[in-house]
Amino acid sequence: MDELHEVVEQRLGSAGSRYTRGRRRLVDELCTAGHPLTVRELLHRAETLSTSSVYRNLAILEACRVVRQIPSLSDDGVRVELHEDLTGHHHHLGCSSCGDLVDVVLPEEIESALARATAEVESTTGFRAEGHRLELFGTCHSCQ
């Protein structure tokens, strides 16, 4: 976790921002959650932070590529997670009933097939892909 905080502090410093106690708290909560959180969930977990502080700090963390937003399937708007280059490449399973979003790492053979498909799309369209995300939507075990 110390290495994560060093990288975050470096990214913020490069952008002229400080790694404040509130920002560190948000990073800690996102790291320990292990899955994307809504702002409401973050506020519940970090009760000492005000709503405006959470939104302001998330905007700064997002601009510095520390966190990223993921559209939610529920009324919660978006979910937030640590940026993929800090946590490792993964995808999401989204429940269209409860809105839960869970991280999933795909087997290497599937990632390889996605890379081949991406290369084919690039060669036929001239589009240059910078990455990919796969989000599967359906009904989680609890909601079935």
Give the domain CATH number at 49: 1.10.10.10
The pLDDT score that the predictor gives to residue 138 is: 93
Report the C-alpha gap between 139 and 144 in whole angstroms.
6
HSE-up of residue 122 (Cα within 13 Å, Cβ side) = 11
Q: How many other CB atoms sit within 10 Å of the CB of residue 70?
A: 15
Single-letter amino acid code for the residue at 21: R
Domain that holds residue 114: 90-144
Mean pLDDT of 8-27: 96
Coil, helix or strand for 128? coil
The pLDDT score that the predictor gives to residue 52 is: 94
Q: How many domains, in total, are found in the chain? A: 2
Mark whether 101 and 128 lie in a shared domain: yes
- The owner of tokens 């087997």 is 107
The pLDDT score that the predictor gives to residue 75 is: 63
Mark whether 81 and 115 lie in a shared domain: no
Query: What is the DSSP secondary structure assignment for residue 123, as one 8-state letter?
Result: H
Output the six-digit token pair for 19.
Answer: 């790694």
pLDDT tens sequence across 64-90: 999 999 887 766 678 999 999 999 999
pTM of the model: 0.85
The pLDDT score that the predictor gives to residue 45 is: 93
Mark whether 140 and 95 lie in a shared domain: yes
Report the C-alpha gap between 9 and 75 in whole angstroms.
32
Mark whether 72 and 84 lie in a shared domain: yes
